[in-house]
Amino acid sequence: MEKKPHFARREFLPREVTSISLALLLVAVLLLNALLYLYLSTSDSSSGRAETDPGLCPFGHFKLGAVKNCSPWLSCEAINREVRKLKCVGEGVVKKVFLSEWKENKVVLSQLTNSELKEDFLHGLKMLKALQSKHVVRLLGYCEQQFTILTEYHPLGSLRGLNETLHIPKYKGMNTWRHRLMLAIDYVSVIRYLHSSPLGTLVMCDSNDLDKVLSQYLLTSDFHILVNDLDALPLVNRSAGRLVKCGHRELQGEFVAPEQRWPYGDMPFEDELMPPYDEKTDIWKIPDVSNFLLGHVEGSDIVRLHLFDIHAACKKRDPAERPSAQEVSDTYKKVLALLIRETAMPGTREML
């Protein structure tokens, strides 16, 4: 008689442990879904106030580092007096870039190098001021008279160095399909923001090959993507019949969209005869950029499989048949949610 309760306890405990483990796993899955929903809903806000202010400062102001108060954009006088150049870290066709210091903070000072391209430089500054948001590098100050722009410094540099960064021991834990897909979501979110910006539909023209595209974006220390170079950002205005052309030279190669290539065969290229196009050129390039961002890690081929249909749609030769950046963004986020659920649920099925 005394052994029955003992025997009953021995048979009951495993079931109790199983039930508790199952409950804990279900709670974990629900929590994961809640966190995922929060991430997707936060990153999916449209082009309103929610995505138009880095650091929650009013227009014309910025917040840097651990400083709590917002400061007005630095003027010519303040830049000349308070900013100290440290070293040149890059030079392009339009400007030279210097790692600099302002009040013990690392910053980036960009200066025009070719006076013939001052209009491009000033256009980039105009875009930078108007498009300040969580998708765009933070503007700290400028001096039009001296053709100087001051922006926030991001030590990981441009997206061109992503794979090298992910081999650094500190960041190896980020080298997963999930973090890489979230970077691709960030990239598409930037395109979506530009296509629905406060200024209208803007086209990322400085993007004639993959390396050039990657150089236009920065990788932040918390692994997000910011667009950094806005010198070539023309406006599409369909209601006014205004389309765009990315420069005045012939573009070639499979990376640029078909409508960006000279359509008249062996006839010598003439800029005046080249038909204009719209923002769907950016959509054509998304699969190639995403393929780089996804890399070749465990699980990345599964991600590519889930993105196959939307990427095939992006590569439609007829621009009108390609999806919008919003549709691509929505699909990427659905794939992320699906794959995270699939990663979590096998354990649940085993417990059941």
* pLDDT value at residue 38: 54
User: Going by C-beta distance under 8 Å and a sequence separation of 6 or more, which residues neighbour residue 57?
Assistant: 63, 70
Cα end-to-end distance, the chain, whole Å = 34
3-class secondary-structure state, position 110: strand
DSSP-derived secondary structure for 162-222 = HHHHTTSGGGGGG-SHHHHHHHHHHHHHHHHHHHTBTTBEE---S-SSHHHHHHTEEE-TT
- Greater confidence, 42 or 280? 280
* pLDDT value at residue 54: 53
Number of C-alpha atoms within 13 angstroms, CB side, residue 158?
14
185: tokens are 């979501």
* pLDDT value at residue 92: 83
| pLDDT band at 19; cut points 50, 70, 90 | low
| pLDDT band at 342; cut points 50, 70, 90 | confident
Mean of all residue pLDDT scores within the chain: 88
- Greater confidence, 30 or 6? 30
- Greater confidence, 348 or 159? 159
User: With 90 as the cut, is the pLDDT of residue 207 above it?
Assistant: yes
* pLDDT value at residue 351: 40
Nearest to 214 by CA among 155, 283, 288: 288
- Greater confidence, 229 or 18? 229
- pLDDT tens figures, 91-140: 888 899 999 999 999 999 999 998 899 999 999 999 999 999 999 999 99
- Greater confidence, 47 or 346? 346
* pLDDT value at residue 239: 86
| For residues 75-82, average pLDDT | 97
| pLDDT band at 8; cut points 50, 70, 90 | very low
152: tokens are 């926030």
Region of poorest pLDDT, from 30-34, 49-53, 198-202, 213-217: 49-53
User: With 70 as the cut, is the pLDDT of residue 82 above it?
Assistant: yes
User: With 50 as the cut, is the pLDDT of residue 10 above it?
Assistant: no
* pLDDT value at residue 46: 39
User: With 60 as the cut, is the pLDDT of residue 330 above it?
Assistant: yes
CATH numbers and ranges of domains, the chain: 69-152 (3.30.200.20), 157-344 (1.10.510.10)
User: Going by C-beta distance under 8 Å and a sequence separation of 6 or more, which residues neighbour residue 96?
Assistant: 88, 90, 110, 111, 113
| pLDDT band at 307; cut points 50, 70, 90 | very high
3-class secondary-structure state, position 18: helix
What is the pTM (predicted TM-score) of this model? 0.84
- pLDDT tens figures, 83-92: 999 999 988 8
| For residues 65-73, average pLDDT | 87
Phi-psi region of 103 (alpha: psi -120 to 50; beta: other; left: phi over 0): left
| pLDDT band at 9; cut points 50, 70, 90 | very low
